Amino acid sequence: MLREAVIAEREPATDDRAPGALAPKPLLFNLVLLLRPKQWAKNLLVFAAYIFTAGFHSGVATREVLIAFVAISLASSFVYVLNDLLDVKQDRLHPKKKSRPIASGAVPLPAAYGLAFLALAGSIALVALLSHTSMTILATYLVLQVLYNAGLKKVAVADVFIISLGFVLRAALGAAALSVHISSWLLFCTGALALMLGFAKRRSEFILLGERRAEVRASLAAYSRSALDALVIMFACGAALCYGVYAVQSPTARQYPALILTSVFVFYGICTA
């Protein structure tokens, strides 16, 4: 009996997890994951006006645009958490979204609601440090996103337009934070590029989900493969045209004629998106 006890002590302890299974991540890790910090790269659009107006020469401008970036990042995180809370059932049917923190059960619902409130409160507190125009733009962004989650995401075409308008508002927020004018052509280009990417994503989901597409995303029921192909091509051409006009005709282009050279990178990006 003593020999068996010694042998048991020397043998490593085992658990009930399947071979190769990963240990569950801490709650804090999953809360951070729920905010989707990887998606904050989309908010870099607030730096557009900062870059095109050479705002980096001013410490005040740098401070303002950084505040705007953090504010819109927290606002977008609030929207992501809200979306995950509302779509938890559909996400559990999605081949990729089922692993999200709420859908997988890694984050309890009370913790998710609390995180959403903190993200929203932080965003409002930060944008209050900027201009009234900045506050209006952020409020518009939040209202549109709430309407999207309340039902517009189920309406074909409108769902992508709402998301794309969010990108335009990001660029406008950066300009408002600096109290500078941003070219209408640049805003048109941002909107067209966002629409191209939005319809490209719907096209990818349309193909990936197959016959289950309507169960996972209601708006996909009203799309067709040929319509999505045409929409992607149309807005890709629109984005290239808008940026081309901006690079030639805008006040910034007249001040810096070499700006037209950047169109090569924009066109290349559109072709490879």
Among 127, 155, 182, which residue terminates a domain?
A: 182
Domain assignment of residue 125, yes or no: yes
* Per-residue confidence in pLDDT tens, the chain, 273 aa: 444 444 444 444 444 444 444 556 788 888 888 899 998 998 999 998 888 777 777 888 899 999 999 999 999 999 999 888 888 887 787 777 888 888 888 888 888 999 999 999 999 999 999 999 999 999 999 999 989 988 888 899 999 999 999 999 999 999 999 988 877 888 888 999 999 999 999 999 999 888 888 877 889 989 999 999 999 999 999 999 999 998 898 887 888 888 899 999 989 988 887
Shared domain for 217 and 159, answered yes or no, is no
Structural domain boundaries enclosing 269? 183-273
d(CA 247, CA 242): 9
Which residues have a Cβ under 8 Å from the Cβ of 174 and sit 6 or more positions away? 45, 46, 47, 48, 49, 50, 65, 68, 69, 182
Is the distance from CB of 177 to CB of 64 less than 8 angstroms?
yes
Among 121, 148, 182, which residue terminates a domain?
A: 182
Shared domain for 83 and 70, answered yes or no, is yes
pTM: predicted TM-score of the whole model, two decimal places: 0.79
